Amino acid sequence: MKYDIKKLTLDEKIELLVGVDTWHTSSLNGKLRQIRMSDGPNGLRKEGDDGKIVSSTSMPTLSVVANTWNKELAYLDGQTIADDCVENDVDVLLAPGVNIKRTPLNGRNFEYFSEDPVLAGTLAKEYILGVQDKGVGTSLKHYCLNNREIDRIAISNECDERTLNEIYLKPFEIAIEANPWTVMCSYNPVNGVYMADNKEMLNDVLRDKLGFKGMVVSDWGAVKNGYKSVKANLSLRMPFIDFGVDEIKKGYEDGKITEQEIDEAVNYILELIEKVENSKKEISFTKDERHNNAVKIAEEGIVLLKNDGVLPLNKNKKYFINGDDSKSPIITGGGSAACKTDYKFKRLDLMLNEEGFNATSDQIIIRDDFVDYITCGHSSFKKAYESDGVILVINAPINAEAHDLESIKLYKRIEKVITETCKYNENVIVLLFAGSAIDMSGWIDKVKGVLLVGYAGEGVNEAIVNILTGKTNPSGKLSETFPLSLSDTPTGEDVDNLMVDRYKEGIFVGYRYYDMLKKDVLFPFGFGLSYSNFSYSDLEVKKLSETDYEVSYNITNNSDYDGKEVSEIYVKDVMASLSRPEKELKAFSKDLIKAHQTKRVTVKLDKKAFTYYLTAKHTWFLEEGYFEILVGGSSRCNFLKAKIYITPEEYDFSTHTVVKNGFWLYNL
């Protein structure tokens, strides 16, 4: 190590453990290089010296990146944001977030990938590699169980060990394979202990079990007790707090922490400084290229949910665009993820006309529930009636940090604009700007088309136009279930009380819950339409070893359009001796399949695809028995199926007893 901890005094070491301002580490009076950190997940959000946010490329939010199901695009996303970081002297990007979408009410769902740990972790890993390959560090956040914003600083999130490991830690475990330089601990207590003080979670689990090797930074203001957090192996307290240093000093003087514990925390910071100094920072995209990357990701992250023959648009028809102003689209949610772009948006109708389509627009602003649709919709309905089709730009209630949503419905008046418009025109297409799942029960049957735009960054209008016109064949699929209503969700409408949120649904989160109860949903996890029609056939599962399998199958594009198809591989444990989800996503692939062509797709499954977390042993366990491999284009479809029987090579018979029906029963 270049920096020798022995050359630092105790006072200097303690000073280094607390940020020097909102975004920097201390330089110890010029002895060390300072580290500059900045948000955030969907573009650089750097606060300049004047306190203003600098402009950067506004990329699609991670919820949209997740809807691409495209590992290369997650990597490209990271690479693009890193260029803005390099250009602005940012050393560590405070992203990505991999918290699981436990409820659609969570105000930060737009910052997170999915309800499924494998999808979230796999894409986060690529994003981290993308950023760090450019010499910029990342901060994997918010570790952990920060699944709602309501009273995030106080509510203890409580869940059992199996659920913690199978659902909530899993995306961290997968993303940690990319060696993020830092992990950010969340505000909330976990099982009664604040994360910043939680030695078991920050040290024993994060380091020893999940294999994290970098530095732990607190979420901004998450440290409640300076010396306890040192004991818990948290290195950096952000941002600066004037009592931060004194509190740690007092803890040391009172014998609550040792110098060795302080050194351990300091060493991680010194290692990070060295990483920052040694990294070769590179810019590879021009500003225009970064914008084009934003368009490319948005195009694949927008999901076509309904299309009763209205898309792509027809050059011989007349379209009327109404709803929210398409010249100022919602491109991100609020809070620390809200970056600022200087990109100048054009109205959708003008863009469509440039492509040879016939579109006019009458943009009314219906962003909240206070605008009377009648006063802003008089002439609109006339124009709707005179057109062949209407495109409605619809904003759902905005998602933002530090707030949860109260409902997953659109504002009543906005629903009314949709249903009223449908009375005047039978070809209504909704462009839905939303940060998480929406209950569409009030209007879905009346409209002919729905494109889930999400918060798709500064490339959003180009991406929409390319999809509407058919230049781009939509290929996004949902990374979260759209339930029929909020009351159908595993968490329903409320948290337990103001102190504790018990994760009562256990491992049955997202599609695992709807599958278990055989509940109908509006749109299932993994669902998304295309202008192509794909069919699956010829599934073959080749055994490579007792626990490694190669799964291959054909996908045929039965259409005149070239198109990309996301294929999803689920595993069902047929003979488990404890309750397991009906099926779980274990792999996926996204492939371009030319019109009328067939492609053979191959993916691999290893032991992790079959294990569950055995609480009694505090570890993962592979149980002998039958498993089904299910392959298809959504979590609810006509799957191709294959059966395999696994006998684990190393089977610890001493801890198990066989019962008559052939199931293994734990003898623990």
H helix intervals, 88-136: 117-132
Tell me how far, at minimum, the Cβ of 70 lies from ligand BGC, in Å: 24
- Select from 187, 197, 259, 192 the least CA-distant residue to 232: 197
Tell me how far, at minimum, the Cβ of 53 lies from ligand BGC, in Å: 11
CA–chain centroid gap for 344, Å, is: 27
Tell me how far, at minimum, the Cβ of 278 lies from ligand BGC, in Å: 24
Taking CB under 6 A as the rule, does residue 39 contact ligand BGC?
A: yes
Distance CA 429, CA 414 (A): 14
CA–chain centroid gap for 617, Å, is: 31
- Residue 434's CB is within 10 A of a number of other CB atoms, namely 26
Tell me how far, at minimum, the Cβ of 587 lies from ligand BGC, in Å: 29
Q: Interface mask (CB under 6 A) for ligand BGC, residues 76-95, using x and -?
A: ------------------x-
Taking the alpha carbons of 44, 45, 48, 54 in that order, is the dihedral positive or negative? Answer: positive
Q: Nearest 5°: phi and psi at 192?
A: 90, -10
Nearest residue (CB) to ligand BGC, 37 versus 364: 37
Distance CA 595, CA 562 (A): 5
Nearest residue (CB) to ligand BGC, 141 versus 231: 141
Nearest residue (CB) to ligand BGC, 219 versus 515: 219
Q: Interaction with ligand BGC in 553-592: which residues (CB under 6 A)?
A: none
Taking CB under 6 A as the rule, does residue 149 contact ligand BGC?
A: no
Nearest residue (CB) to ligand BGC, 13 versus 45: 45
- Identify the active-site residue in 219, 439, 501, 515: 219
Nearest residue (CB) to ligand BGC, 96 versus 633: 96
Tell me how far, at minimum, the Cβ of 96 lies from ligand BGC, in Å: 10
Q: Which of 212, 220, 252, 553 binds ligand BGC (CB under 6 A)?
A: 220
CA–chain centroid gap for 45, Å, is: 18
Contact 521, 483 (CB under 8 A): yes
Nearest residue (CB) to ligand BGC, 59 versus 391: 59
Is residue 254 part of the annotated active site? The answer reads: no
Quote the DSSP letter at residue 609: G
Nearest residue (CB) to ligand BGC, 141 versus 170: 141
Q: Which of 15, 91, 219, 299 binds ligand BGC (CB under 6 A)?
A: 219
Strand 389-395 with 318-323, pairing: parallel
3-state secondary structure of 209: helix
Tell me how far, at minimum, the Cβ of 183 lies from ligand BGC, in Å: 12
Strand 182-185 with 137-143, pairing: parallel
Nearest residue (CB) to ligand BGC, 157 versus 336: 336
Tell me how far, at minimum, the Cβ of 647 lies from ligand BGC, in Å: 45
Nearest residue (CB) to ligand BGC, 22 versus 441: 22
Peptide bond into 142 cis (omega under 30): yes
3-state secondary structure of 493: coil
Taking CB under 6 A as the rule, does residue 336 contact ligand BGC?
A: yes
Token look-up 């906005």 returns 414
Residues 6+ apart with CB under 8 A from 206: 143, 172, 183, 212, 216
Taking CB under 6 A as the rule, does residue 148 contact ligand BGC?
A: no
Distance CA 309, CA 319 (A): 15
Where are the strands (E) in 59-206, listed by range? Answer: 92-93, 137-143, 156-158, 182-185, 189-190, 193-194
Distance CA 92, CA 24 (A): 10
Tell me how far, at minimum, the Cβ of 50 lies from ligand BGC, in Å: 17
Site size with ligand BGC, rule: CB under 6 A: 6
Contact 167, 116 (CB under 8 A): no
Token look-up 């090579």 returns 649
Residues 6+ apart with CB under 8 A from 462: 295, 298, 351
Distance CA 33, CA 366 (A): 49
Tell me how far, at minimum, the Cβ of 336 lies from ligand BGC, in Å: 4
Q: Interaction with ligand BGC in 125-144: which residues (CB under 6 A)?
A: 141
Could you give the residue numbers annotated as active site?
219
Question: Which residues contribute to the site for ligand BGC (CB under 6 A)?
Answer: 39, 94, 141, 219-220, 336
